[in-house]
Chains A and B, each alone.
Chain A
């Protein structure tokens, strides 16, 4: 490209703190952004990429401080611009962040806030003209019924819809360049793929150059023309995405690439099939859970949120069973049913041959001992003012252990087992890393010597390296104690690595259950294919997103449409799908999918 760059970053340095205690966050960052170019910036957490993204839009607040260099736009250093002049430049410099739900005032309608921004950066614009432009653009990012959505509040938008609205907010003033900081990170994979495609399309339409910051190399690869690799505040490598992946030069890049999970290649771990057993450890039979929510603006009317619908499956002893699905699919409600925090409205949950709803007294205590839960959030799941030893002692006391020395010995033994140093016994959880905190959570579950651990998104908040270590620990514990694991997760790559069998959930229903291999290589349900098409991976995709998923988001679990719940996004849907709901149809021994197409194939095979 011959034209002069839109943006040119020269020797940019940012440090945190002042004087002698100052520590560099970014040093010596230089690059150019050509018109219509998309530059990707990749780095692990802590590499300084968010600080870089903010520096590009002159958003460096104390304790951060620009220590050197410049960010030049239209041959002026925007870092030197005073508030008022910078504010007018915001028309040409746009930013979209990683937290769509927090980006707008929750007390005002979304459309009005976009109009507010437009009239702030384009003073004197006619309000009705501004409103029209916003509605047009909301339509262009495929927000359904944009005219109505204009007057809705941020809390009425899903994360994906909100991110679309923020893209509108960024592009409404026709900016020269856009900084997108980890925009797809909080979104579900299928939605993230759509948002990404949309951004590429729109920036082409508006001739906008983009700086695309992300921690996921597969995402950057999809989006960018050029990739910069950021490590400890320095750019260590730059190349086109394909060349970067084929021939990485810097060891850090190599490490980044090696951590990306393998799904289909031969390097992927082979997970054995489930061992045969006479009686399942957990057997959930036709369970349904519905919540009532009061309808706003009515006297006593309620809406039904059908969180879990007719779920049936078995978990065998010694098995790693995965439950996957995107947000709102009923995973967490299912976890609450499995751990007897709630009872199903109909159907039953049977653990070790006992119906959970009938357990009382001693039997209930025994169930609690055998079935332990490990939670998702490493920060909120530990009491901050209790020492780690006391946290781990508590379950033992609840379950009747009295001898202080025995308790202490048992706790220390478990801490050793989960590889927590014994000197943490009297420490508060305050200074622990997320990984160590999750180990405390695992230890708290393991201290009672359970048979089953239910892992509700236990690994989601950890980075790849720490995930690897914990998974190795789980494997070791399973070998030693014959544990059964139920992994509830949205992360297909993790499930691929550890689970023997996997159930896929969509809008409260299990749409497919299959062995690991079969699910990833020959899925029976179109939704499973759509999920697979959107997994962030560098491998060549077995399933193309364009073929697997229609534009749009899952319908609301309130007032579900009749027929198959996936029909609205399914490229293969036909008349019958909109009229009746398919049930799980057996494809093979122990494998089934809820799709009419499977029935057809079955019929054809039988003929």
Chain B
């Protein structure tokens, strides 16, 4: 019963958030200078034709009317069509002007549907790497504050946080795939292509995770029930794994919620460097091409992911610590 009411309440809030984000993006995109029709039709297209296309596409209606039309599509699961990309593949636009291809522009939903799983796979693997590494380094550090594991954790996270992701990506690609040939780097032809970008992302994620884990474990170990637990006869292993980690996991979870959201921004650069066909690469191209429907679609999908992740994080946190109330 608690879980149902929690989900209903939070999902309703989430829907409102997504709606507001969509409205904001929609209006901003229409206010910025630059006419997408000019880009679509090409620089050489006559002015009258551009006006005609724009009218046909409804781009000259008031913003609110356009937004209403768009939202009625969204609730039916239709995110519209790309301005630029044809259903067949490579992007059109530029200087050539061919009216014939305009009818078969790619569905935004399909474009996102093709790239999102790739990005999720990358993000998931990055989180797995980051968590494994942070637990290995952070738990011993939290258990012995001030001694060498703590110092190791501090130095490692200081170094990691100072490494720029784009630089590390290039260096690792050079080292691991060009020189040593262990891992493939550019493009995507199988799961192995995910590993290298995931490592780079994990290096970016782990410093904050390590610091939080170290801090929350060492403060959990200071809690009175830990010391009393020993006197009550619990073994050190049980105290650490059943009680200290459990109590330390709530701050870590909250952080993870924020980090995952940040990760979806972090993939932009990394996917671009590794030419990884994910949502990040799609976003960059969509922005460069002023592909409004695609940008909007990506914005809606990513904000929905943010909202869902945070709901999940809060739900898990309340299940771990019943005192929390969201």
Contacts and interface: CB of A to CB of B under 8 A. Distances in A.
Partners in one complex: yes
Interface of A: 57, 59, 61, 83, 87-88, 90-91, 95, 97, 99, 102-108, 116-117, 120-121, 153, 155, 169, 173, 294, 296-299
Interface stretch (B13-21, B180-188, B318-326): B318-326
A53 to B, nearest CB: 10
B234 A120 contact: yes
16 contacts: A59-B227, A59-B230, A88-B233, A90-B233, A95-B228, A95-B231, A97-B224, A99-B224, A102-B223, A102-B224, A102-B228, A103-B228, A106-B247, A107-B322, A120-B233, A120-B238
B246 interface: yes
Interface residues of B, number: 28
Interface string B286-300: 000000000000000
Nearest to B319: A107
Contacts of A107: 246-247, 320-323
A186 to B, nearest CB: 12
A297 B225 contact: no
B179 interface: no
B151 interface: no
Contact of B2 (A121, A169, A297): A297
Contacts of B247: 105-107
A105 B236 contact: no
B232 interface: yes
Contacts of A88: 233
Contacts of B88: none
Contacts of A298: 5
Contact of A103 (B8, B224, B321): B224
Nearest to A106: B323
B323 A155 contact: yes
Interface in B234-248: 234-236, 238, 242-243, 246-247
Contacts, number: 73
B303 to A, nearest CB: 25
B230 to A, nearest CB: 7
B7 to A, nearest CB: 11
Contacts of A153: 322-323
A296 B230 contact: no
A155 B5 contact: no
A523 B260 CA distance: 64
Given A90-B232, A120-B233, A106 B1 contact: no
Given A107-B246, A107-B320, A299 B231 contact: no
B325 A103 contact: no
A102 B225 contact: yes
Contacts of B230: 59
A249 to B, nearest CB: 34
B9 interface: yes
Given A117-B232, A173-B233, 14 more contacts: A61-B227, A95-B228, A95-B231, A95-B232, A102-B223, A102-B228, A120-B232, A120-B234, A120-B238, A153-B322, A296-B2, A296-B325, A297-B1, A299-B8
B23 to A, nearest CB: 26
A59 B231 contact: yes
Contacts of A102: 223-225, 228
A50 to B, nearest CB: 13
A169 B325 contact: no
Nearest to B320: A107
Most buried by B among A59, A83, A87, A155: A87
Given A99-B224, A296-B2, A106 B231 contact: no
Contacts of B238: 116, 120
Given A102-B225, A296-B2, A121 B323 contact: no
A-B pairs with the 6 shortest C-beta distances?
A90-B233, A102-B224, A297-B2, A121-B233, A107-B321, A103-B228
